[in-house]
Amino acid sequence: MSADLESASIGAIIAQREFGPIGREDLQRYAHASGDLNPLHVDKDFARQAGFSDVIVHGMFGMAFLGRLIEDDIVKLQLLAFRATFRKVIEIEQTIVCRARLASRVNNTAVLSLEMLGPDDAVLIDGSAIVEFLTDGSQ
């Protein structure tokens, strides 16, 4: 799902996409690529000792899915700013839904409200992005 930033109503969902489930191999690849080998993300026994049922997904890996939504599903833009707040743990083997809503628009700049949802629509990550887009007249 993707909507045009020029014509969408404020509050409208601009893009929405499902990712996952995020598996153990995904975490291993991310851990090695990022250098974040925190045992909470790669060692099931360590994660259990810390009170989790299994390893948990890196917060920054979760944020990357929101970035992918912006890059892949919202066309004709330049990303000017991107921020996120981690609200809940993303569990392994979880399917997530990433969503962007149009929060405001001035000329050819838009502010997007971002959220990553887990089961029961629990907010796992929320944030915002500021994007610059091309108007139909500037192509």
pLDDT in tens, 72-111: 888 667 889 999 999 999 999 999 999 999 999 998 899 9
Tokens linked to 34: 């990022």
The beta strand positions in 25-95, using DSSP E, are 77-86
**C-alpha span between 130 and 81 (Å, rounded):** 5
Beta carbons of 80 and 132 less than 8 angstroms apart? yes
Type of residue numbered 78: Q
Return the CATH architecture of domain 13-21+59-138: Roll (3.10)
Looking at residues 24-48, what average pLDDT do you find?
95
Task: Confirm if 93 and 83 have CB atoms less than 8 A apart.
Answer: no
Distance of alpha carbon 52 from alpha carbon 27, whole angstroms: 16
What are the tens digits of pLDDT across the range 48-66? Answer: 999 999 999 999 999 999 9
Q: What is the signed CA dihedral for 31, 32, 33, 39, rounded to 10 degrees? A: 20
Q: pLDDT band for 136, please (50, 70, 90 cuts).
A: low
**pLDDT over 90 at 17, yes or no:** yes
